[in-house]
Amino acid sequence: MSAPSKVIRRAQAGTTESAWVRWTLIGVALAFMFLFLVLPLAAVATEALRKGLGAYLEALKEPDAWSAIRLTLITAAIAVPMNLVFGVAAAWAIAKFEFRGKAFLTTLVDLPFAVSPVVAGLIYVLVFGAQGWLGPWLAEHDIKIIFAVPGIVLATVFVTFPFIARELVPLMQAQGTDEEQAAIVLGATGWQTFWRVTLPNIKWGLLYGVILCNARAMGEFGAVSVVSGHIRGQTNTMPLHVEVLYNEYQSVAAFAVASLLAILALVTLVIKSVIEWRHEREMKAIAELPPERPTAA
């Protein structure tokens, strides 16, 4: 086979690198994933079931474990919708409008990525703690924020609010404002434009951002650890409960709860993969439409 033919075949295969380079890169990637992803998950599952399925189920039935699971789900159920509203509003403002302070708003959206979660928790303690700025007023009105569920929710909202906005901003910027402007010219109101034009165009990115936000909300440790007070059975989420059990040398119970977190993470990845597959399928169907029927999708 001639040299030009080899180059053409490699280009058709999607790369111009030789076979040994491709296989080496694939091998390195697979080895890395096995070492840092598959092996730790297998270790968690092995340790959780080390004393049998009965001990595993007993660890999950324990009242403090149920309290941690319930608090984790409640926190995620509150934080994710709040971030959904904020993320859509922030992305819409940043991508669709020009206004003074736009760069500052974009910086604020990225702030939780730059600030350590532990520092974020300390900030809430400084503001709402007993010796904080609002502490005396809150104590006077018998309102508990720190070492209570509201503080956990606030800390979780802070560390997770960039995820949805950051998924939507580049998507909405790429789409532009032509469709929204056309809808308004045709007489649509602002809400009609949002529900029938903007939202259908961003639905896949929105779902993807919600999934990432939910995964981080359930697995957050640093900020929640600072504001929770580690009150067993009351303010311990699942990650905090794992730490408590492990420090008490209850390794089977600790790994049992940790395995439940891992299962939730795997379920999240499966949902994410399904969403990506459906999005790609929809884009492929639209791309295959004939030019004279652009609205058939």
pLDDT of 251 higher than 70 = yes
- Among 16-20, 79-83, 168-172, whose mean pLDDT is lowest? 16-20
pLDDT in tens, 208-232: 899 989 999 999 999 999 999 888 8
The answer to the question of residue 5 being in a domain is: no
The answer to the question of residue 21 being in a domain is: yes
Same domain for 115 and 196, yes or no, is yes
The answer to the question of residue 75 being in a domain is: yes
Residues listed for the chain:
297
Across the chain, where does the E strand assignment appear? none
Both structure tokens of 260: 């439940």
Same domain for 239 and 122, yes or no, is yes
Same domain for 140 and 212, yes or no, is yes
Q: Are 109 and 89 in contact (CB under 8 A)?
A: no
Same domain for 156 and 28, yes or no, is no
Sign of the Cα pseudo-torsion (61, 65, 67, 73, in order): negative
- Grouping H, G, I as helix, E, B as strand and the rest as coil, residue 20 is helix
Write down the mean pLDDT value for the chain. 86
How far, in Å, CA of 105 to CA of 169, rounded? 12
User: Looking at this protein, which amino acid is placed at residue 104?
Assistant: F
Q: Structural domain tally of the chain?
A: 2
CB atoms within 10 A of CB 277: 10
The answer to the question of residue 2 being in a domain is: no
pLDDT in tens, 153-166: 999 999 998 999 99
Same domain for 258 and 272, yes or no, is yes
Instruction: Give pLDDT, residue 195.
Output: 87
Same domain for 37 and 57, yes or no, is no
Q: Find all residues with CB under 8 Å of 272, minimum gap 6, and list them.
A: 208, 211, 212
Q: Residue 70's domain is classified under what CATH number?
A: 1.10.3720.10
Q: What is the pTM of this model?
A: 0.82
How far, in Å, CA of 172 to CA of 204, rounded? 12
pLDDT in tens, 74-129: 999 999 999 999 999 999 889 888 888 888 888 888 889 888 999 999 999 999 98
CB atoms within 10 A of CB 179: 15
CA dihedral 95, 96, 101, 106 (to 10 degrees): -10
How does residue 297 score in pLDDT terms, banded at 50, 70 and 90? very low
Same domain for 59 and 195, yes or no, is yes
| DSSP letter assigned to residue 148 | S
The answer to the question of residue 293 being in a domain is: no
Instruction: Give pLDDT, residue 291.
Output: 65
Same domain for 112 and 187, yes or no, is yes
The answer to the question of residue 171 being in a domain is: yes
Same domain for 73 and 37, yes or no, is no
Burial class of 137 by CB neighbour count within 10 A (0 to 12, 13 to 18, 19+): exposed
Could you tell me the residue range of the domain that residue 33 belongs to? 17-49
How far, in Å, CA of 50 to CA of 55, rounded? 9
Distances (CA, A) of 12 to 195, 281, 291: 42, 22, 26
Same domain for 142 and 186, yes or no, is yes
Average pLDDT over residues 200-206: 88
Same domain for 38 and 62, yes or no, is no
Instruction: Give pLDDT, residue 181.
Output: 86
Same domain for 73 and 110, yes or no, is yes
The answer to the question of residue 290 being in a domain is: no
The answer to the question of residue 192 being in a domain is: yes
